[in-house]
Amino acid sequence: MFDGMQRRIVSMWFPRLASDRVLRARPVDAPFALTLESGNAVRLYSLNTEAERQGLHQGMTLADARAFCPGLHSQPADLPGDARFLRTLRRWATRYCPWVGI
């Protein structure tokens, strides 16, 4: 029974948050990935489900991904934009819970 003093904890996991955020503004019905430069390579950072269905995975080089999936759409990741979106999500969550951690 809830007595008003019990804590409520919610854990949420968004494995495709970065790509989902970008695709909300510009939907693509094809394999899509955000990329990050890592050393001298460009690597996949966040993929949509269609890209994963094609066998692509996070950390794969963009060159290898294009060999597996020539129809891959990609664009550079926007890490500051992702951070802003998480802050917005955190503010939204405080409507339902006084303590929110990201």
Where are the chain's structural domains? Answer: 17-93
Q: Give per-residue burial for 59-69: e unless 16+ CB within 10 Å, then b.
A: ebebeebeeeb
Query: What fold, for 17-93?
Result: MutS, DNA mismatch repair protein, domain I (3.40.1170)
Residue 26: pLDDT band with limits 50, 70, 90:
confident
Q: What confidence score (pLDDT) does residue 2 get?
A: 60
Residue-wise pLDDT for 56-99, tens only, equals 999 999 999 999 999 999 999 999 999 999 999 989 988 887 77
pTM > 0.85: no
